[in-house]
Structure 1
């Protein structure tokens, strides 16, 4: 049996109670159930109101008491259902109130849960409020991931307090495909900042040679990587978030807010001039020498890993591991896998350590902020680079010009690549033919990987929305394989149905 854990806080007034509701809201996910215990006037409704308003993103959102209706539901980005069971006649009435459906679709807040104690999920988080002097004492008890998320959110509030931002308002900003999440924090007369929550990477099971995937692919394992690369890029003339405060042990950063300027047009389509500008910034970055030992704090160094053969191969293996079974309805044969490895090893051999440098790795529209009121490279704010490696720089150009989440027409792709090539020529000696071959190789590598990732997100993680991107990625892969240097690889893909549509 799992032992329950608990933590306590003292809340001096209603403002602090509302703030706790905000902190709780930012930790919640669909399926969470919060049981609010306390006497009349202990602050249950104040806490619930703060939580609901935080989920709604509106501090003035109307939150009526559910005392007489028994349940009040809110169509917030994460739906929340506020139950008051004080007038419940029987626990059987919970079914009529749609309690199970509420949990399935969002979050449930339950006041007076003791009226139906046996019907409450074992994973519920219990929040007990007791009067203490002019304020109230709160005890939060629970098990599992809900408790862990709430405890981390409260630790983030502690971090903000240590930075002088303890009374700031927090709001969801953006998340990404990893465990990282971002919030905006605001307070009177100050520019908003970004709070990064970057827990240490949880390594999965071994997949090859006793190592987990993340270790072979050199995925950043802690926030130290972000800090080290951020400081190096800033010193090198790249507009990245300034670091206001950091807690490397817990994985919290307070960052400059670079703005919300969209890199794409209002309809989500690429703008040729902006892609060209982003390519020119890449050319500047790739033309510099970067150390592979970057200081994140005194005595704390991030070693930038290499984009080596093992990392390149483990990524393209995602196509065989996930996309092939989805297309063919059967796992890949040993012959297919061996032939696939042989074809890719031949292609990777052509890279031969040429045009290597700092590869940001996630250089595409979601991670680029357009700041049109600025000049030159400063027009582009770059916000995601912690997984950077030292490797073939053409990978970043392919990431940009064949943007995985945006349909980039072939003319804009060509214009983007041409802008990069022109900028590299202008900066000095540059082997264009060598680069264009490397671009085709890395574009094929990246898009093969993404086909596998998007199927994995559907099959393993229950996120079917990623399947809509597959036709675009197949088109990009076909463009890359059209390069004469990849003729043998292209033939292998065609022979083994690796470019066929997902059924």
Structure 2
């Protein structure tokens, strides 16, 4: 099927090299044909997800943003041939020149504001506070191995009180590993966008949390503050007004990721994500320090152990032992 798709797209016989993937089952290859290059996304068996990718890509492009242009697609087979946006991921650019982190984070915050000012595409899923709280129970199921009823209810109450307002389009995985710096383009198009097929309706600050509380890398405090200032100004609120919602969404995301990374080890046999647990734990603690989250902090302190070396090694020792269900 791959050969037939590439032949129909005019890329038969192209040279190929594997590109690093992510936590999903999707795979990527860079193709070369003469001096031209493209990226093949293979999401075999995920037709619905592939159609979601195409839908959101079209929406982003219509807003003047920079998703990769779709060159050819066969959603039923899970193949999409994409424009090659290059290798200048935010992670790589910032590693080469840390001084660029502040302007890059500010540019990404401006993209979020632009995106959120437009009407979202129709028929997107929407998570209520209860849905988000249920998702966070991955932390009790996989990370802590306990019943999470108290945590779910307390988190639900905090989300309803602090972040249950306007619904806008969320890209869900808006972080440095999914953003590219394209300085030859103008305005918002300078930020290339990847991995947005799980887009949904949600709260304005969630993607900002994904960007500034990155689970896989440390973000300089000055970069976080600069981007928060841009975002608050764009929303017409003060930094203090933004803080409670940002903190509760940050706590939610940290709880989810602790559970997701533990599940990737225990169920999927991918222990490499365990190295990030201490960082995500620090982010959780920073968010829980907000006075508005005192009740949630108390519940987390009671139920969740810190990821010290002994705990991490315990998870590693059980890697791949929990079956899919």
Indicate the residue corresponding to 1:389 in structure 2: 200
Alignment of 1:263 onto 2:90: yes
Q: How many Å apart are 1:436 and its aligned residue?
A: 2.7
TM-score (norm 2): 0.88
Tell me the alpha carbon deviations over residues 367-413 of structure 1, each in whole angstroms, 9 at most, x when there is no partner. Answer: 00112233321211001100000111211000000011111133322
Q: How many Å apart are 1:314 and its aligned residue?
A: 2.9
Greater helix proportion: 2
Indicate the residue corresponding to 1:26 in structure 2: none
Asked whether the equivalents of residues 140 and 259 of structure 2 are also in contact (C-alpha less than 8 Å), the reply is yes
Name stretches of at least 5 consecutive residues in structure 2 with no aligned partner.
312-325
Name stretches of at least 5 consecutive residues in structure 1 with no aligned partner.
1-154, 202-219, 293-302, 326-331
- Which has the higher mean CA deviation after the structures are superposed, 493-502 or 404-413? 493-502
Q: How many Å apart are 1:253 and its aligned residue?
A: 0.7
Asked whether the equivalents of residues 199 and 222 of structure 1 are also in contact (C-alpha less than 8 Å), the reply is no
In the alignment, the residues of structure 1 paired with residue 140 and residue 45 of structure 2 have an alpha-carbon distance, to the nearest angstrom, of 29
Indicate the residue corresponding to 1:93 in structure 2: none
Asked whether the equivalents of residues 25 and 43 of structure 2 are also in contact (C-alpha less than 8 Å), the reply is yes
In the alignment, the residues of structure 2 paired with residue 221 and residue 308 of structure 1 have an alpha-carbon distance, to the nearest angstrom, of 22
In the alignment, the residues of structure 2 paired with residue 412 and residue 167 of structure 1 have an alpha-carbon distance, to the nearest angstrom, of 44
In the alignment, the residues of structure 2 paired with residue 351 and residue 304 of structure 1 have an alpha-carbon distance, to the nearest angstrom, of 23
Alignment of 1:311 onto 2:131: yes
- The equivalent position to 2:23 in structure 1, one of 177, 197, 213, is 177
In the alignment, the residues of structure 2 paired with residue 413 and residue 431 of structure 1 have an alpha-carbon distance, to the nearest angstrom, of 15
TM-score (norm 1): 0.58
C-alpha RMSD of matched pairs (Å): 2.1
**1:64-79 mapped onto 2 (5 Å cutoff):** none
Asked whether the equivalents of residues 229 and 239 of structure 2 are also in contact (C-alpha less than 8 Å), the reply is no
Indicate the residue corresponding to 1:197 in structure 2: 42
Tell me the alpha carbon deviations over residues 64-114 of structure 1, each in whole angstroms, 9 at most, x when there is no partner. Answer: xxxxxxxxxxxxxxxxxxxxxxxxxxxxxxxxxxxxxxxxxxxxxxxxxxx
Indicate the residue corresponding to 1:420 in structure 2: 231
Higher relative contact order (CA closer than 8 Å, sequence separation 6+): 2
Change beyond 3 A, Cα 1:268–1:316: farther
Change beyond 3 A, Cα 1:183–1:242: same
Tell me the alpha carbon deviations over residues 155-201 of structure 1, each in whole angstroms, 9 at most, x when there is no partner. Answer: 11110001111121122123111111111111114x21111111234
Indicate the residue corresponding to 1:328 in structure 2: none
Indicate the residue corresponding to 1:166 in structure 2: 12
In the alignment, the residues of structure 1 paired with residue 218 and residue 211 of structure 2 have an alpha-carbon distance, to the nearest angstrom, of 11
Change beyond 3 A, Cα 1:408–1:352: closer
